[in-house]
Amino acid sequence: MNSNNISAAEFIERISNGEKLNLLDVREPIEYHSFNLGGENIPLGKLPDALPLDDIDTDDEIIMICKAGLRSGTAQSILQQNGYTNVRNLTGGLLAVQKLKQ
């Protein structure tokens, strides 16, 4: 398992335990507003202009979220290239989370 990724199971467990996570959802606003798990919504295309992130230090854990894990993987790379050292991608995205919650 890539330590730069977080599984849907680990993600759900940590949320269920009430852990406060830095979530960054990189889907488009219409997707975010139809269903989300919280966190900040910065669409992938706008991410480079949104850096540096407010209230998040470069060594804080940040979990990237999108529908299936592809856009969030790209966003993860963008953050890493900008000095963020603890960026994790939600493997399988929201689809994987919803599947486990059924």
Q: What is the pLDDT of residue 2?
A: 55
Q: How far apart are CA 53 and CA 89, in angstroms?
A: 17
Mean pLDDT of 23-39: 95
Q: What is the pLDDT of residue 90?
A: 97
Find tokens 């979220």 and name the residue. Answer: 65
Mean pLDDT of 82-98: 96
Contact 94, 67 (CB under 8 A): yes
Q: What is the mean pLDDT of the chain?
A: 94
Q: Bridge partners of 23? A: 63
Q: How far apart are CA 49 and CA 32, in angstroms?
A: 19
Give the domains, in start order, of the chain with CATH numbers: 5-101 (3.40.250.10)
Which amino acid is located at 44 in the chain? L
Q: How far apart are CA 61 and CA 58, in angstroms?
A: 8
Split at pLDDT 50, 70, 90, the class of 102 is confident
Cα–Cα–Cα angle for 66, 68, 74, rounded to 5 degrees? 60
For 46-68, the pLDDT digits (tens) are 999 999 998 899 999 999 999 99
For the entire predicted model, the pTM comes to 0.94
Q: What is the pLDDT of residue 1?
A: 44
Split at pLDDT 50, 70, 90, the class of 101 is confident
